[in-house]
Amino acid sequence: MNKKIFYFSIFLLFALVLSGCDSIIVGNTEIDIELETKRVEDVVDGFWAAINTQDGWKAYWYCSDNGYKQFVEPYFDNLIVLKQLCPNLIIDIYSVINDISFEWDKLGNPRATVDVQVNKTVMGCGDLNSTKAEFGTMELSYYGGAADVWWIVDKVDIDF
């Protein structure tokens, strides 16, 4: 009998140690996945619409400080230089969401990872005219409480 208790205790201790190694808890049902998927889609669509209309201020409001500094600020800095070279510059950008997945950290905070295709067409700039379809990911964090919920873009991994 003592052997069974000993092995059971070792098993529980081993399980406890392994559960501390993984930061992701899958299957958390505290949020409505269908509703949050729609909210994430709205943020991603709004973010790329702001980039398309060249509205840096609006794009800023979709991002955390990290998302802004990592993608938005460098993108608009490059855009300023490109506009100086090509005064008749026209850029058309649109995105297509391929997949959205959710993960939870140990505190139960959800994060969304969005697989996205972003299409960019540059016109009015001579040799720099081009059309690109870039595939990448976006990471979003969930903020707020029961009545006031929103998603923020933390990272954009698209190579423009």
**Which pLDDT does position 6 carry in this prediction?**
45
* High-pLDDT (> 70) share of the chain, %: 79
Structure tokens at 143: 């903020």
Residue with the bigger pLDDT between 36 and 30: it is 36
DSSP states of 56-119: HHHHHHTB-HHHIIIIIHHHHHHHHHHHHH-TT-EEEEEEEEEEEEEEE-TT--EEEEEEEEEE
| CATH match for 26-157 among 3.10.450.50, 2.60.120.380, 2.60.40.1080, 3.20.20.140 | 3.10.450.50
Residue with the bigger pLDDT between 27 and 41: it is 41
Question: What is the pLDDT confidence band of residue 146, given thresholds at 50, 70 and 90?
Answer: low
Contact between residue 102 and residue 112 where contact means Cβ atoms under 8 Å apart: yes
Query: For the segment 56-102, what is each residue's pLDDT rounded down to a tens digit?
Result: 999 999 999 999 999 999 999 999 999 999 999 999 999 999 999 99
Domain positions in the chain are: 26-157
